[in-house]
Structure 1
Amino acid sequence: MRLALAQLNPLVGDLSGNTRSILKACEHAEAGKADLLLTPELSLWGYPPRDLLLQPERLHQQQSVLDQICRELDSLHSDLTVLVGAAIAIEDDRQPGLHNTIVQVTRSGWQPVAHKQLLPNYDVFDERRYFRPGDGSSSLVLSNGLRLGLTICEDLWVDTELQRERLSGPDPVAALIDDVPDLLINLAASPFDASKPSLRRQLAARAALRLNCPIVYLNQVGGNDELIFDGGSFLLDHKGDCLLQMPYCQEWFEIWDSKPSHQPALSMPPPDTRDLLFRTLVLGVRDYSSKCGFQKALLGLSGGIDSALVAVIATAALGPDAITTLLMPSPWSSNGSIEDATSLANRLGIASQTVPIASLMQSFGSSLAPALDGEPQGVTAENLQSRIRGTLLMAVANQQGQLLLTTGNKSELAVGYCTLYGDMNGGLAVIGDLYKTTVFALCDWLDSDDSSCCRADFGLLHQGELVGEAIRTKPPSAELRPDQKDSDSLPDYGELDALLRLLIEERRTGEALVAAGFAPELVERVETMLRRAEFKRRQSPPLLKVSPQAFGTGWRLPIAAA
């Protein structure tokens, strides 16, 4: 059998455009004399379509585009079988009224052949809002007699020894044992986090061993709002050894031939986590910009490490000609920070403009003096600087039609070390799911020889350090008052981030952290800051999710709570 795999990057809700991508893959598959073409989970819709699934006119359009694929295959006189992901209505009056389905499409027609059995309803997933689970195993026998076992994404996640969460419900892999499939197929839309590439491979290998057959894992690729799908599709033999590995973070089409019968296993070392994290963030910025209709982006450049990393990611995503930076020095901005910001812009080849804010600070201060019985002081004065900068950035972005990128990190967002309507202004929080220590580690890697191939792939051709040692080694500071350091207000980032990971990603209690050896006063302080900052996070721009638990749609804590 010649098997075609289309690792597609859909636009959510664009059934016509996504169908065109599938038809293009059909043409490639036909040219390559493939027997079967696979596309990812919900490939007609893009994942996740959310409440677009509740619009009857889109469901009606789905019927039309499936018919269109049939007609196109017929016009090609093609015997190709295509598996596409669709949302198929259930013929009764109960809700939810859809199945997450694999549809078999040929020149003679289309029919549903498998329904997703395990519907994730945790973190960012809420499939039970839209879908009903399928019932029973799903096999498909092709005209050549080959029997395919069909599963959809979460249906493969049934190994309690490997995974963090196992949904209650059936074991779709075990249900296929009696069918004795010749090939197991998993069509997926699995978003990125750093643990996923290895975990997917392990889960697939276990399934291959249980069924004693090869397995194809085909994943969606691309950024859809906060979620980034890293692709990385693969094919394993019956022993769990890799026969085919597709690229990460890019659309890809591949044809695999099961002959000769002995396919040598590939030596596939795990991808470098820093390389894959950078590529994922670049993909997230590129797709969020293009899918939302932006061609250019703007950010404030301070000379600090956070804005430096965002500038590098944005340049890699959109190209230097599409990036503008604003330097907005105050009387408290150090000469070193201004020089560092300017030097970074020059290394990246991006435009930079300087708009000093000292006169605006004076004007705001004198205007507020009557209402405050004196000029703003303390945190009020510091926040006012941030809000002046946020207003300037929004004005420039509005005037020039740019996407404003915020530059705050996850550590700051966690403890509220950020200003509403100030540095939180923007359309996308690029590194809002990166702890400060991860920001430093990623910048260190970018300035090392290990990143040379990745930098070259994105046209970051400056010789030598990109971020720069001066930026990487200076003590973090918001520079909102003389000689200010982050350490004046926050614990050391190494200690803070270790606590935050346990509180956020593992949902550990303060008592458990104290029992684990953390100082009680530190735990209480960080817990309090995390809880009190919830109202800020609720008003923050969407962020790019790259961890198991981000401050996005999967974080659902109340604001007014004990």
Structure 2
Amino acid sequence: MSGQLRVVMAQLDFLVGDIPGNTLKAIEAIDQASRLHQADIIVFPELTLTGYPPEDLLLRPSLQLRVEKAINDIKHAAKEVAVVIGYPWREEGGLYNVAGFVAEGEVVQLYRKQCLPNYQVFDEKRYFEAGTTPGVVDFKGIKIGLTVCEDIWQQGPVKQLADQGVELILNLNASPFHENKLGQRKELLCRQARDHNTPIVYVNLIGGQDELVFDGGSMVVDRTGKCVVNAPEYKSGLYPVDFECEKGCQPIPQVLHPELSLEERVYSALVLGVRDYVNKNGFKSIVLGLSGGIDSAVTLAVAVDAIGKDRAHAVMMPFKYTSNMSIEDAQEEAALLGVKYDVYSIEPMYDAFMKTLSEPFSGLAPDTTEENLQARCRGVLLMSLSNKFGSLVLTTGNKSEMAVGYSTLYGDMAGGFDVLKDVPKTLVYKLARYRNTISPVIPERVIERPPSAELAPDQVDQDSLPSYDELDHILYLYVECDYSADAIVAEGYEREVVERVIRLVDINEYKRRQAPIGVRITERGFGKDRRYPITSGWKAGE
């Protein structure tokens, strides 16, 4: 057995569908791992060559030809260092999610992922066939086992490798972030390593892909079940790990990177999600409506941290119900963040709409129609600025509002990306306070004042909604935990309030279907996670 082994964890950000670009990035990393780190093995994430999740790109007829070319290029690069890399591979009529072990210019082991996740945001059974055999390779006298993502969450593939007597398990991942995910991963890896007396190298993807964010957090767990090496969350890089392999194969511990707080973790996910969505889709800049409220303030702060102040444009669009406080606070926020800031009154266009509608509305009392019209005037302005200047419109609705439909279709929902879509209102306040610990960018009275859409005189959100503390917990139980109305009432809430909230969630599914995507930060966001019919007779009482 060899004395030492150096493994480099390639925690990198890849672009879905860009097989040539991803291959080039991988080859550059292989070169750096060899020259700068003197690596024996470099391990990449799951489906590196296509990015994750490639979704129906996997059905394209030309996929295999592109992957074959990419693998040939990887083979030529893998002369001085072994490469473990993920990609889709078609053979015998089936498509497999594979980990290839490339050494001395050849694929010496092709492991086919056995456990295909088909829950939450995953639907791999739509595309892949499941493998059945373990992937074991003898490298420099060390018996190494290969697994891909979900394999490590199940007993079968890991037990197979343990029965084969492997001394080290390499696990390739594309594990998306949610607020509790890092702890779940660590607990799982520690248990698997301890139960099977085998160290595990866990390499995770980083980056934003539509509503998903991959947070990295790659790590190494020794055979006793202790995490001894970890890569920082949300930071791309090559992270070397040394193993002592005279008696078994044990990782040499390193100083661990500190884990982030909940607020740091969520805020970092939002920043990364916005940055990659804007840049990967080729937007020059972003534009948003800055209302002087908490949601737009946090959204603007995230955007500036993601892409810089010079690429952000804030627009205040006052109406006669807009308070002086809101105008002052919006101006202060824009100044503190150093962004371009403009003020465009919506009164002239609102008046023009109302003049046109005066005949059909004659004799009818004002209601939410007039309130929604204000929001739609703002949506038209922002989308026009988007069209003219190539800016992405960021909407500012939070998860609490999206859940109960406290938003206007084609108004404040008009845009391309909703930063706070999966962030409950109570967490929005925590993120604002967290961001102010870095530098003061959100005025204190924006955080302290009662939230209001300012679509009517003296309007506040709590006129039509329960307190956000109460609302967010009811929504958590119903949306994320699937509690019935009876079960939520049993938690101590008034039945009338519970049934009203549930009804609002159910009847506003049609709005959410037309809403922009946004960063997923909970275990069940509105998007890939939760797919409810719009037309339904289901009653949630029991």
Q: Paired residue for 2:162?
A: 177
TM-score normalised by length of structure 2: 0.95
Aligned mates of 2:192, 2:211 — CA distance in 1: 30
Determine if the alignment matches structure 1 residue 4 to structure 2 residue 23.
Answer: no
Q: Which residue of 1 aligns with 2:63?
A: 58
Mapped to 1, the partners of 2:299 and 2:335 lie a distance apart of: 15
SS in 2 for 1:173: helix
Paired position in structure 1 for 2:513 = 538
Take 2:503 and 2:364, find their aligned partners in 1: how far apart are those partners? Answer: 30
- Tell me the distance in 2 between the aligned counterparts of 1:29 and 1:553: 36
Change over 3 Å in CA distance of 1:298–1:501 after alignment to 2:
same
Task: Specify whether residues 296 and 203 from structure 1 end up closer, same or farther in structure 2 by C-alpha distance, changes over 3 A only.
Answer: same
Is 1:255 aligned to 2:235, yes or no?
Answer: no
Residue 192 of structure 2 corresponds to 207
Letter in 2 for 1:15: I
Q: 1:26 aligns with which of 27, 30, 37?
A: 30
Give the deviation of 1:244 after TM superposition: 1.5
Q: Which of 143, 148, 173 is the equivalent residue of 2:144?
A: 148
How far 1:106 moved relative to its partner? 2.9
Whole-Å separation in 2 of the counterparts to 1:499 and 1:527: 9
Distance 2:212 2:341 in 1: 30
2:173 is aligned, of 170, 183, 188, to 188
Q: 1:262 to 1:512 in 2, by over 3 A?
A: closer
Match of 2:99 among 102, 117, 121: 102
Corresponding position of 2:225: 240
Partner of 2:495: 520
Residue 267 of structure 1 deviates from its aligned partner by 5.3
Residue 326 of structure 2: aligned partner: 337
TM-score of the pair, normalised by structure 1: 0.92
Q: Any idea what SS the aligned residue of 2:357 has?
A: helix
Which aligned pairs between 1:340-489 and structure 2 lie closer than 5 A? 340-373=329-362, 377-448=366-437, 452=438, 462=439, 465-489=440-464
Letter in 2 for 1:145: G
Please state how far the C-alpha of 1:175 moved relative to its aligned partner.
1.9
TM-superposed CA distance for 1:197, in Å, is: 0.9
Alignment identity in percent?
Answer: 42
Matches within 5 A, 1:65-104: 65-73=70-78, 78-92=79-93, 97-104=94-101
AA at the equivalent of 1:29? A
Q: Which runs of 5+ in 1 are unaligned?
A: 159-169, 453-461
CA distance in 2, matches of 1:88, 1:376: 64
Does the Cα contact within 8 Å between 2:147 and 2:170 map onto a contact in 1? yes
Q: Work out whether residues 242 and 265 of structure 1, in 8 Å CA contact, stay in contact via their aligned partners in 2.
A: no
- 1:105-116 paired onto structure 2 within 5 Å: 105-110=102-107, 112-116=109-113
Local SS of the residue matching 2:156 = coil
Alignment check: 8 A CA contact 1:429 1:541 kept = yes
CA gap of 1:514–1:176, structure 2 versus 1, over 3 A, is same
Query: Cα 1:238–1:265, aligned 2, differ >3 Å: closer, same or farther?
Result: farther
Partner secondary structure for residue 352 of structure 1: strand
Question: Is 2:228–2:256's contact at 8 Å kept on the other side of the alignment?
Answer: no
Q: 1:262 to 1:87 in 2, by over 3 A?
A: closer
- Corresponding residue number in structure 2 for 1:306: 295
Q: Aligned partners of 2:105 and 2:401: how far apart in 1?
A: 57
Instruction: Answer whether contact 2:83 2:102 (CA < 8 A) is retained.
Output: yes
- CA distance, structure 1, for counterparts of residue 387 and residue 399 of structure 2: 26
Q: Contact between 2:43 and 2:85, CA under 8 Å: does it hold in 1? A: yes
1-structure distance, mates of 2:192, 2:255 = 19
Tell me what 2:540 maps to: none
Mark the CA change 1:426 to 1:9 in structure 2 (over 3 Å): closer, same or farther: same
Residue 455 of structure 1 corresponds to: none
Deviates more, 1:404-413 or 1:203-212: 203-212
- The whole-number CA distance in structure 1 between the counterparts of 2:256 and 2:370 is 58
Alpha-carbon offset, residue 243 of structure 1:
2.3
Superposed, which structure 2 residues align to 1:498-517 within 5 Å? 498-517=473-492
AA at the equivalent of 1:132? E
Q: Report the Cα distance in structure 2 between the residues aligned to 1:526 and 1:311, rounded to whole angstroms.
A: 29
Q: Aligned AA for 1:52?
A: L
CA contact (8 A) 1:180 1:211 kept: no
One-letter identity of the residue aligned with 1:38: V
* Aligned counterpart in structure 2 of residue 44 of structure 1, from 33, 45, 49: 49
The separation in 1 between residues aligned to 2:188 and 2:182, in whole angstroms, is: 10
8 Å Cα contact 1:53/1:59 also seen in 2: no
Residue identity matched to 2:234: C
Matched with 1:162 is none
User: Aligned pair 1:139/2:136, yes or no?
Assistant: yes
What secondary structure, in the 3-state scheme, does the structure 1 residue paired with 2:510 have? Answer: helix
Distance 2:329 2:163 in 1: 65
- CA RMSD, Structure 1 to Structure 2 (Å): 1.5
Give yes or no for contact 2:162–2:198 (8 Å, CA) kept in 1. no
Distance 1:519 1:312, change over 3 A: same
- Amino acid of the structure 2 residue aligned with 1:532: I
1:559 is matched by which residue type in structure 2?
A: I
Which piece of structure 1 moves more, 223-232 or 270-279? 270-279
Structure 2 counterpart of 1:165: none
Please report how far the alpha carbon of residue 238 of structure 1 lies from its aligned counterpart in structure 2 after TM superposition.
1.3
Task: Point out the more displaced range, 51-60 or 315-324.
Answer: 51-60
SS of the equivalent of 2:157 reads coil
Mapped contact 2:134–2:160 kept (Cα < 8 A): yes
Q: Deviations over 1:5-52 (max 9, x none)?
A: 111101001110000111011101211221111000001110000000
More displaced, 1-10 or 255-264? 255-264
Question: Which ranges of 4 or more aligned residues in structure 1 deviate by more than 6 Å?
Answer: none
**1:8–1:221 Cα contact (<8 Å) kept:** yes
Do the aligned partners of 1:218 and 1:234 also contact (CA within 8 Å) in 2?
yes
- Cα offset, 1:171, TM superposition: 1.9
- TM-superposition CA deviations, 1:265-301 (whole Å, max 9, x none): 6456532111111111100000000111112100000
Deviation at 1:118, TM superposition (A): 1.1
Tell me: CA distance 1:149–1:489, structure 2 relative to 1, closer, same or farther (3 Å).
same
Query: How far 1:470 moved relative to its partner?
Result: 1.0
For structure 2, the 5+ residue unaligned runs are: 538-542
Aligned: 1:288 with 2:277: yes
Question: Could you tell me how far 1:71 is from its partner in structure 2?
Answer: 2.2
Distance 1:113 1:320, change over 3 A: same
